[in-house]
Amino acid sequence: MANKWRHTHTHTLAHTLRLSCACVHINSQVEKFNLRFSYAIATRPFYGANKYVLNGAVFDEDHDEMVVVKDIEMFSMCEHHLVPFYGKVSIGYLPCNKILGLSKLARIVEIFSRRLQVQERLTKQIAVAVTQAVQPAGVAVVVEGVHMCMVMRGVQKINSKTVTSTMLGVFRDDPKTREEFLNLVNSK
């Protein structure tokens, strides 16, 4: 069933790309590119951070101090321009008797970044996924990205970076907790 869906959508997207190329007089020799690109988009994971992805890596632990994993590499594709953006993600959460395997934080970043995306939504999706996984007192996510749509086209500002954040729970409500997280993230 999934393979049939993937095949159908891959060929539909390839056909759409072929028509788009024809409209702007791009050589039809890009046909193989259309199919490869369509396959790459159609086969990206579109599931959330469910039990399968977390793979049992939620542990009962009497720990109530901040957990921070910073500088998780991220690569994504701008859904507005179909060009890449990349950067680093930092995630912090304040556990309430449940902790998440550290590699699963990176896996959550991977799941949501490996699809057509905008950085603002990506930031929020990561925070919500961590919240759903371990029901912490709060979650904080900061994403710093370089967008090729700003670098290689349009305004062509090669040194620009976009920073987005989502603060949930205690990170949103308590300035001291938020400040502690931001200091840890910004430390070298």
At 1 the pLDDT is 47
Tens digit of each residue's pLDDT (9 = 90 or more) over 73-125? 999 988 887 888 999 999 999 999 999 999 999 999 998 998 888 999 999 99
Q: Nearest to residue 109, comparing CAs of 94, 82, 128, 96?
A: 128
How many angstroms separate the CA atoms of 60 and 156, rounded? Answer: 48
Catalytic residue set? 78-81, 119, 147, 149
The C-alpha angle 119, 157, 87, rounded to 5 degrees, equals 35
How many angstroms separate the CA atoms of 182 and 179, rounded? Answer: 5
Determine how β-strand 162-169 pairs with β-strand 138-147. antiparallel
Q: Name the residue ranges covered by the structural domains of the chain.
A: 2-42, 51-186
Tens digit of each residue's pLDDT (9 = 90 or more) over 111-164? 899 888 899 999 999 999 999 999 999 999 999 999 887 778 777 778 889 999
Question: pTM, whole model, 2 decimals?
Answer: 0.80
Pick the CATH number of 51-186 from 3.30.1130.10, 1.10.10.60, 1.10.1740.10, 3.90.1180.10: 3.30.1130.10
Q: In the structure encoding, which two tokens stand for residue 44, read together?
A: 């990206």
